[in-house]
Structure 1
Amino acid sequence: MSVQGTAAAPALLWAPAAWVGGRWQAGVLLRAGADGLWAEVRAGVAAPPGAEVLPGPVLPSLVNAHSHAFQRAFVGLAERRDSAHDDFWSWRDRMYGVALRITPAQLRALAAQLYAELLDGGYTQVCEFHYLQHAPDGSRYADPAAMLQALADAAAEVGIGLTLLPVLYERAGFTQPALRDDQRRFATSADEVLALQRAAAGMGALVTAGVAVHSLRAARPASIVALAERSSGPLHVHVAEQTAEVDDCLAATGCRPIDWLARHAPLDARWQLVHATHSVPGEIAAVARAGAGVVLCPGTEANLGDGLADLPGWLAAGVPLSVGSDSQVLRAWPEELRWLEYGQRLALRQRNVAADPGHEPATAARLFERVRAGGAAAAGLPRWGLEPGARADLLLLDASCPGLAGLPASHLLDGLVFAAAARPFARVLVAGRWRWPDDAAVAARAGRAAAVMHQLWAQ
């Protein structure tokens, strides 16, 4: 399914089954208010007169808590090795080649294609960790928020919610006081990030804004603390993605990266630690005490050879979790959850690692519910899911599709994450409006994105 069209749904919807309160419930009435939020969600009722009776079960969409939209142009173009060694750092150097060329108009075209794909993949909100700020030569655009505006315009075209996170980026490494020349488009101070956040906050009805720190290696400690103290909304940071980053942080500061944040940054529920791949138990405990969240990106972490996060440790500590598409090699949340669990199975040589036999024995259900709940804080939203006060978003499942057909209702999430070969979302609702395929718009958008790809790689 490709999404472009839009129409207001009836105020009353009724589903034969829906994921409410962390479990499947039968006969669910959903009433959306004029403000695009759920006004009423009630289970165990018959379909009332005037309600749209949905033809299948529904569940909440998820927040995509970490995205670099411009990296959609790089997908499929870094899967060859021309030297004896290839790792995250060599991938990063090649990725900068895209970052140095893309214009605001090109970014809008690519982001629109990406956001439509994410909507297809079951996300209705995407958090853009945005560090590509300036013109290709490093000079400031007349409108400093031009690249942010391109992302907001793309999201509005597709009809997906957007959390814009302008990024603090000051230096090339712990011992390098300035940026490299190929990082010239990223340069920002804390003041500039705050100004960009203010600009982003007014970019659309479905747009929220927070801030981000690229990483501990890329920002000065005083700037990180100042940004945290002066900003509002969610605050995201790449942390402990690579072992080299951990080693460099230890050498420069005497602390591991997550430990440094726990000791020196005012960690609280606003903070979202992206990747947190390489942690130790004491760091997990410190994050749990602070109430901060962790954003896992299993597809990208696998693609880049980052390693495996301590999923059992984060789950056991009760740390809020969410998932993100990051470099866009995967663009559907069922695939991310599958990779999240399968990586653990391969490493530990066990099955159903994320399950909790004493409380939630279903692996997919436990993962889904944890990332559903954690996505709200990552996006800067007060609620998320099929509950009053949350935005009126949902996914209508096609229970007849391969992988789901014939399963009992209690196992639909298991089938969705571990058996469905296709993305079985028949319809998507965002803020009380249905999004549906529009073949002409889909073809035009795909054509624009393909043209941008040709332009970038012809250079």
Structure 2
Amino acid sequence: MTVLWAERALLPGGWAENVRVRLSAAGRIADVIAGAAPEGERVGLLLPAMANLHSHAFQRAMAGLSEAKGPEPRDTFWTWRQIMYRFLDHLTPEDVEVIAALVQMEMLEAGYATNVEFHYLHHRPGGAVYDNIGEMSARIAAAAARTGIGLTLLPVHYQFGGCDGRALGPGQARLGTTPEAFARLVEAAEAAIAGLPDAGIGIAPHSLRAVSPEALAFCAGLRPGRPMHMHLAEQVPEIEEVRAAYGLRPVEWVLETLRPDARWTFIHLTHMTEDETRRLAQTGAVAGLCPITESSLGDGIFNGTQWAEAGGRLGFGSDSNIRISLTEELRTLEYSQRLRDRARAIYATRASSTGRVIYEAGLAGGAAAAGRETGAIAPGLWADLCAVDLANPVMEGRAGDTLLDSLIFAGHDGLVRDVWAAGRHVVRDGQHMDRARIIGDYRACIRRLQERL
């Protein structure tokens, strides 16, 4: 049994000192005792580690390739998407596994313990199915076996090129599934993760523009009780297309037709009215926010103040993986609200500081989105833990909520010293256990890709 001892720790009841945490051989938290004498492995600040609730791993390899001016008068999400489609046509299963390993390693080093992978790259270039329809899912699982990260795999159903049911475009051929093929894909994905003791499955209809209403109902019935994820209300043209096809805005249609509950995670939600914000928040669904990517793609600003006032849940993901930084995701959310509202400490309450509110919100929302028993330092939960260096000057003299405020707003991910995912000690002294080999494999992969691009 592994024993950790922390000078300070964030427990469900608040801050505690001299905390002993014992981890079972199965990767669960066995017990937690505050005010204990030092023993075992000693750390400074011990936090529950968050789940990264939205990732497209392969996009990490195209980070930095879409910042030049394109041929269109104005570059937008839609012009970026065309670059992404051209890029993915060159990826092999071996490439995807290597890229996913780098992404998962960087997530762990940033303080995440779980990768919720919104996985839609399924087929060969041109759309032909691999001999094993779950080949690409197996590559994500193989990367997780190598890195030790917790994994929730979300196979994505991508049916049409738009709400009118038009065929997928050339760049989308590798993504496409019929409902029947998608059911087989989910089974193959479950087989791929079967060897990972703490991995789970979820279902992800891509978006209202890519999946028919009938297929949405089919998807919801595939794995009852498991997480459901979908992009929603990300872009203004998407909202206009859905309203033209269905007579309602996307969030309105979802509320009236899907009747979502706490099982659902909706990604981005950057364009909601006040009424949509309030009503969707009250369903218990999680808002899956990716502030770095939303900034990169010019998506817009999430209606965070009203979502919080309505009691809405939220979590954080790295989406395009242009940059993987837990502290920056949280900071960017808060700063976006400050810039829009021209105020400060937007998420703070009378009881808790800004950093603590958004960190604890991300823990709870991420755990729900992952369908994973995690999100707190409490007996019975997975031992998903993150240790932060208190010797860093940024943390000097800090106590209570100012520990998280200093980490998020004045610090950086380099303050993360150790990470455990389901009890696996995968990051030590700030570096992943297999860092050198993962980076070497990734560099070789990128060189091969550059020759094909």
Alignment of 1:217-232 (within 5 A): 217-232=209-224
Q: Which moved more, 1:337-346 or 1:400-409?
A: 400-409
- Give ranges in structure 1 of 5+ residues lacking alignment: 1-9
Relative to structure 1, is the Cα distance of residues 115 and 439 closer, same or farther in structure 2, using a 3 angstrom cutoff?
closer
Relative to structure 1, is the Cα distance of residues 422 and 142 closer, same or farther in structure 2, using a 3 angstrom cutoff?
closer
Q: Give, in angstroms, the shift of residue 225 of structure 1.
A: 1.1
Question: Would you say the 8 A contact 1:400–1:406 is kept in 2?
Answer: no
**1:391 counterpart residue number:** 382
Q: Give, in angstroms, the shift of residue 239 of structure 1.
A: 0.5
Q: Give, in angstroms, the shift of residue 22 of structure 1.
A: 5.7
Alignment of 1:253-332 (within 5 A): 253-332=246-325
Structure 2 residue matching 1:417: 3-state secondary structure = helix
Aligned equivalents of 2:360 and 2:432: distance in 1?
Answer: 33
Q: Once the two structures are superposed, what CA deviation does each residue of 1:196-226 show, in whole Å capped at 9, x if it has no partner?
A: 2233234221321011011100011110011
Residue 155, structure 1, aligned to residue 144, structure 2? yes
**2:123 counterpart residue number:** 134
**1:448 counterpart residue number:** 441
Q: Give, in angstroms, the shift of residue 422 of structure 1.
A: 4.8
Alignment of 1:11-410 (within 5 A): 11-21=2-12, 23-43=14-34, 45-47=35-37, 51-83=39-71, 84-202=73-191, 203=193, 204-232=196-224, 233-357=226-350, 359-360=351-352, 362-410=353-401
Alignment of 1:402-441 (within 5 A): 402-436=393-427, 441=434
Runs of 4+ in 1 over 6 A off after TM superposition: none
Aligned equivalents of 1:288 and 1:298: distance in 2?
Answer: 18
Aligned equivalents of 1:333 and 1:440: distance in 2?
Answer: 20
Structure 2 residue matching 1:167: 3-state secondary structure = strand
Q: Give, in angstroms, the shift of residue 310 of structure 1.
A: 0.4
Aligned equivalents of 2:123 and 2:184: distance in 1?
Answer: 14
Aligned equivalents of 2:283 and 2:340: distance in 1?
Answer: 29
Q: Which moved more, 1:10-19 or 1:346-355?
A: 10-19
Structure 1 residue matching 2:395: 3-state secondary structure = coil
Aligned equivalents of 1:82 and 1:211: distance in 2?
Answer: 35
Q: Give, in angstroms, the shift of residue 442 of structure 1.
A: 2.2
* Count of equivalent residues: 445
Structure 2 residue matching 1:396: 3-state secondary structure = strand
Aligned equivalents of 2:434 and 2:46: distance in 1?
Answer: 26
Question: Would you say the 8 A contact 1:131–1:166 is kept in 2?
Answer: yes
Q: Give, in angstroms, the shift of residue 440 of structure 1.
A: 9.2
Q: Give, in angstroms, the shift of residue 381 of structure 1.
A: 1.4
Question: Would you say the 8 A contact 1:402–1:420 is kept in 2?
Answer: no
**2:282 is matched by which residue type in structure 1?**
R
**1:6 counterpart residue number:** none
Q: Which moved more, 1:28-37 or 1:305-314?
A: 28-37
Aligned equivalents of 1:289 and 1:408: distance in 2?
Answer: 34
Aligned equivalents of 2:43 and 2:289: distance in 1?
Answer: 33
